[in-house]
Amino acid sequence: MASSEQIAKEYYDKGMYLVHSNNLEPGIDNLNMAASIYEELQDYKQYILTLRGLAIAYGIMGYDSKMLHKCLNALDIIDKHHILGAKHFFYTTICNRYMILGDYDSAANYGKMALQDLEDHGDDFPNEPHSYLVACLNLAYCYLHMHRYAEAESYLKRGSEIATKNDMHHHDLSLSVLEANLHHRMGDNQYVYDHIDELVTFIQNSKITIQDYIEDLKLLIETFCGMKEYDRAEAVALSLDSSATIANNIHMKLEASKLYMMVYRNSGDTEKYQQACVRFAEGTIEVADTEATQHLLEMDTAIALSIADTPIELL
């Protein structure tokens, strides 16, 4: 018979796999089960890692209050139980959300807090080089959009060194796109053309979330549009659109529509922009209808189970 630790680990592993596969609601269900068991076992290190997974999932879904609640809950537990070297997980999650919302000053503040926690206490928790790499990438992204290119270049160089030293490749696209965008902003478009093969091989790595992947594609489109390479920018959106069709993923289709809108707004193609807007609106309705159907099914199932457990004389 499996132990509670084994059962919790199975829920955790499955939950994180589902979140990275963009199957968010079942991922959250599994992570909630894992969190309950870890809390009961008083395994607070695994508990806070599970809270981190939940925070990431809620962030992807745009549920900012739920995401922040999980982060603050975890930070409170970390302080209460004197766990060192784990705060960066939650500073990074908050940083990522601020980045997506376009508040780069706040994002950079949390990004620096994450990196500082790793530098001060990284060895006190089972941290991996990946956490250091992500902290550097986030800061590079923030400083790019704050037009502080020297700082962006410094963090990008540091991130690249971490990836090379540890033979990590799951953020190769992020590194390539950030490097290209930096050179473009500094007036060196030739660098982008010289490295075009690295940029167009945009395949999502299973170790990063769909949200991170889409942010990479957005920055790539931003770079191509800035260079007035609108056909290349459109090809990036088409790539995501094709992947969404193959996966039959309506949420990813919606993200592809946003990318098309971004391209055509920048190119000035009014007709295609309007078509992309209509497609986005129709996709939003489809997503809402699908979610409503799923919620009705869940309610009906819960009621049916409740009735099945109710003594016949009480019905």
CB-based contact 214:237 (threshold 8 Å): no
On average, the pLDDT of the chain sits at 90
Q: Is the pLDDT of residue 313 over 70?
A: no
**pLDDT confidence tier of residue 295, bands split at 50, 70 and 90:** low
Residue 305, pLDDT above cutoff 80: no
pLDDT at 308: 59
Neighbours of 295 (CB within 10 A): 11
Q: Taking the model in full, what pTM does it have? A: 0.86
Q: Which amino acid is at 32?
A: N
The tens digit of pLDDT for each residue in 98-122 reads 998 999 999 999 999 999 999 999 9
What would the 3-class secondary structure string for 14-78 be? HHHHHHHCCCHHHHHHHHHHHHHHHHHHCCHHHHHHHHHHHHHHHHHHCCHHHHHHHHHHHHHHH
From residue 57, give the alpha-carbon distance in Å to each of 60, 211, 226, 284: 5, 10, 32, 20
Q: What is the pLDDT of residues 182-203, one digit of tens each?
A: 999 999 999 999 998 878 766 6
Contact 189, 183 (CB under 8 A): yes
Task: Quickly state the pLDDT bin for 1 (edges 50, 70, 90).
Answer: low
Concatenate the DSSP letters of all residues of 193-244 into one string: HHTHHHHH-----TTS-HHHHHHHHHHHHHHHHHTT-HHHHHHHHHHHHHHH
Band of pLDDT at residue 43, cut at 50, 70 and 90: very high
Summarize pLDDT for 113-155 with one digit per residue, the tens. 999 999 999 999 999 999 999 999 999 999 999 999 999 999 9
Confidence of residue 211 (pLDDT cuts 50, 70, 90): confident
Q: Which is nearest to 198 in space by CA: 167, 166, 220, 225?
A: 220
